[in-house]
Chains A and B, each alone.
Chain A
Amino acid sequence: MNRFRAGWLATLALLGVLLTACSTAYAPTPLPTPTSSAAATTATSPTSAAPPVTCDNATTSYAALSPLPAAASVGGRLGEIAKRGYLVAGVSSDSLLLGSRNPLTGAIEGFDIDIVRELARAIFGDPGKVKFTVITAAQRIPVLQDRSVDVVARNMTMTCARWQQIAFSSEYYHAGQKVLVRKGSTAAKLEDLAGQSVCAPNGTSSMTTLAKYPNVKAVGSDTHTGCLVLFQQGQVAAITGDDTVLAGLAAQDPYAVVPTSAPITAEPYGLGFNKDDVDFVKYANGVLEQLRTSGRWKAIYDTWLAGPLGPAPAPPAAVYGR
């Protein structure tokens, strides 16, 4: 009888082993290893910013063609554009007031856009013959160098370093770098923001300036609007950029203000061209000259900038002699 019971016990033990073997649970599904995903990027160190090229004629461009010849007769790049039938312009689609997409109409509009449309009007007699290519600040020089656009109108500051790589028209707007802070903040300039995070788009002269303030933690983004999201999410305390751009950001957020203080730097805007398109630049300078003298420049300013930035100043004077 004992042996009989032992046999059954062994069988039961075997059964138990088999049952436990059956009911093993699965290993948990692994999570992907986290990658840095934040939109914010730590700004590149000042050493890797644009090389410090100095000159005293950053706003000096090529002499304007006057009177304007027919575009097709100029030849070179401009002749090709005239033959193609439309202009390709690199612009911003998210800089309110300068170049932004109107979500209600889908159209890109702003001060920079109207300047390009005037260029198209001069070439084709039709301001609508422009294909807009949306680019980030950092793409402005590469797209000119690889000729994927004919002209860049994207609040681009004329600097000596950039003249090494591309060509500029004469100055068409005179902006200055300022800061945008939270409503109620006492900070009015970059010095007041020591120890805090300040955002600027990568590859801009604003970022180069920001990098000169080692006490301020520089945070990069792809566009100024990207900075505004970081600002709204509380990831940065302030945004620095041109007064024109900051006015467009402040218009989108009632809790963002641009303190009225002297600009940190002067930011002369020029239209960007491929370095070799000298004749095209001369032609564009002729167009800009007409805008200044005809009152059209002031009309465009009044449409976009008079509200947030006050009455129109005199258009910046062209400097030639390059």
Chain B
Amino acid sequence: MSQPAAAAAPAPPPRAAGSTAYGIPAPAAPPAPAPGPTLPTGMPLPAPQPAVASRGGADTPTLMRRISLLVATICTVFAVVGGLTLVDNRTALGRAGTNVAQVVTVQSVYADLLRADADATNAFLVGGLENAAQRADYEAAMGRVSESIAAAAAAQPADATALAALNGLVTDYAATIESARAYNREGLPVGAQYLKIASTTLRGQALPILDNLIAANRDRVDGEIADAGSSWPLIVSGIAALASVVWAGVWLAGRTRRRLNVGVLAAAGAVLIALVAATGVAVSAASSAKQARDNRVQGALTLTTIRSAAYDAKANESLGLIARGQATPYEAQVKARQTQVKSGLDTLSRLTWPAGSGSVNTVNQPWEAYVAAHTAVRALDDKGAWDDAVKAVTDAKGATATSFTAFDEASAAALKQFDQSLQQEIAAPQWQLALAALVTVLLGLGAAAATRRGFAARTKEYE
């Protein structure tokens, strides 16, 4: 029972007889299986298993365990990194949507301020007792300005300082307009001076802050959309995971002489599916976000820009008549704003309009009519018929007022359509990204588990 220890020692089946146990030289290894005196106990030595490599080398089961742990960790990292990348893309898309909403809010403040100013200046042409509807429109516009400033400050902390400064100026503006109005009602010329100061405060100080807010938020939209399109951590970790699983499978096949390991094969399949599906979703989400930006966001911003420009043109039309005979600088401003509206309408004509929102013509036609009416007003004033010009501008049923109102309503309707569709289009890929993130995490972790299992089955054979 004691003699034939070495020869009779059971060897693991896959090892070829006579080969070195581990393929690793073990020079200073304990002289375990040497023939000769057996252990006093007479117990058979368990041959190669307990052998330990002296310099980082290890026996097959240990190596298997290490490799399986390494590959499983890489797969887990892929699950986490891939999932996080997709979640991050989704968050970026959400933030892009929030920033777009902020640009639209800020642009609406811009448009409402100029709308209020157009009302206030136009009222000066009528006389001390202004049109009640016009006054109500002024009040409503200023009310929306206050609400939008508060909403914008809550939505974006980074805009808080600029919005606080803007709020102060809007308060100044409103107070100056009220002074102007009070003096005007008393028939005192100092009222017109207060109006002029209010207009200077608005255009010289408040609007530049709004320009900065619009620019900053547009940059944020671009940054987030670029961020939402960046999926390299997903791809890199996925390729690493796939490569490690494939290498592990090849290594295991070579070591065990078994071609197939179901666990490793399943892991490779899971990683491959996760990688392809997640990358596909990420790329398609990024491209639809870019499309939404280039079309819907562009459309909404262009519409708010032309609305602001149109209100400013209307205010300058009144200021030009108030300045009586000195309309040139105001008319230059009107012309600049008309050019801005025209180029905005050109941009809008190149965009795909949301279904059911009509076409650029719905906005263009009333605008052309207004420009014609304005030209007629200027012709009256320029030939000395100031009273007729004023009558044309202040008559609520006149061509100037009706065409401008039509433009206002058409552009507001189009803006609403663009705004709604852009929120939908930016929001749509978000759930796809969330789903892809979940799938990536599950498949990645599944690949890790499958790798462990596949290796464990082989390791067991050594025990």
Contact = CB atoms under 8 A, between A and B. Distances in A.
B323 A134 contact: yes
A282 to B, nearest CB: 25
Interface string B171-197: 000000000000111011111111001
Nearest to A232: B190
B324 A132 contact: yes
A249 B194 CA distance: 14
Interface in B61-76: 66, 69, 73, 76
Nearest to B207: A32
B189 A106 contact: no
Interface string B195-229: 00100110011001101110011001000000000
B88 A18 contact: yes
Contacts of B47: none
Contacts of A131: 325, 384, 386
B158 A19 contact: no
B157 interface: yes
B208 A7 contact: no
B160 A28 contact: yes
Interface string A4-16: 1001101100110
Interface stretch (A45-53, A72-80, A93-101, A171-179): A93-101
Contacts of B324: 93, 101, 108, 132-134
A4 B76 CA distance: 12
Interface in A57-105: 86, 88, 90, 93-96, 100-105
A4 B188 contact: no
Interface stretch (B77-85, B272-280, B402-410, B421-429): B77-85
B193 A106 contact: no
Chain B interface bracket (under 10, 10 to 19, 20 to 34, 35 or more): 35 or more
A134 B326 contact: yes
A135 interface: yes
B281 interface: no
A106 B127 contact: yes
A103 B326 contact: no
A4 B316 CA distance: 73
Contacts of A102: 187
Contacts of B200: 37, 39
A104 B91 contact: no
Contacts of B80: 11, 14-15
Contact of B127 (A88, A105, A225, A226): A105
B8 to A, nearest CB: 35
Interface string A245-272: 0000100110000000000000000000
Which one of A22, A29, A105 has the greatest number of beta carbons of chain B within 10 Å?
A29
A144 interface: no
B384 A229 contact: no
A103 B187 CA distance: 5
Given A7-B69, A133-B325, A22 B197 contact: no
Contacts of B212: 29-32
Contacts of A133: 324-326
Contacts of A10: 73
Contacts of B216: 26, 29-30
Given A104-B187, A131-B386, A4 B69 contact: yes
B243 interface: no
A106 to B, nearest CB: 6
A3 B58 CA distance: 16
A25 B211 CA distance: 21
Contact of A31 (B73, B209, B220): B209
Contacts of B128: 103-104
A19 B69 contact: no
A35 interface: yes
B69 A22 contact: no
Given A94-B193, A135-B326, A225-B189, A31 B162 contact: yes
Given A29-B216, A37-B201, A103 B188 contact: yes
A252 to B, nearest CB: 4
B84 A15 contact: yes
A165 to B, nearest CB: 20
B158 A93 contact: no
Nearest to A107: B387
A314 interface: no
A7 B187 CA distance: 83
B365 interface: no
Nearest to A101: B189
B420 interface: no
B208 A32 contact: yes
A29 B159 contact: yes
Contacts of B188: 96, 103, 252
A95 B188 CA distance: 10
B192 A94 contact: yes
A155 interface: no
Given A14-B77, A29-B216, A106 B125 contact: yes
B157 A25 contact: yes
Contacts of B81: 14, 18
A105 B386 CA distance: 13
A209 B197 CA distance: 27
A133 B77 CA distance: 78
B325 A132 contact: yes
B165 interface: yes
B301 interface: no
B156 interface: yes
A28 B162 contact: yes
Contacts of B19: none
Contacts of A55: none
Interface in B141-177: 156-162, 165
A252 B326 contact: no
Interface string B321-365: 001111000000000000000000000000000000000000000
Interface in B232-262: 233
B124 interface: yes
13 contacts: A4-B69, A14-B77, A14-B81, A18-B233, A29-B158, A30-B162, A103-B187, A103-B188, A103-B192, A106-B125, A132-B325, A133-B326, A232-B190
Interface of A: 3-4, 7-8, 10-11, 14-15, 18-19, 22, 25-32, 35, 37, 39, 86, 88, 90, 93-96, 100-106, 108, 131-135, 223, 225-226, 228-229, 232, 249, 252-253
Chain A to chain B: the 7 pairs with minimum beta-carbon distance, closest first = A133-B325, A131-B384, A26-B158, A32-B208, A94-B189, A29-B216, A29-B162
Given A14-B77, A93-B189, 6 more contacts: A11-B73, A26-B158, A31-B165, A31-B209, A102-B187, A131-B386
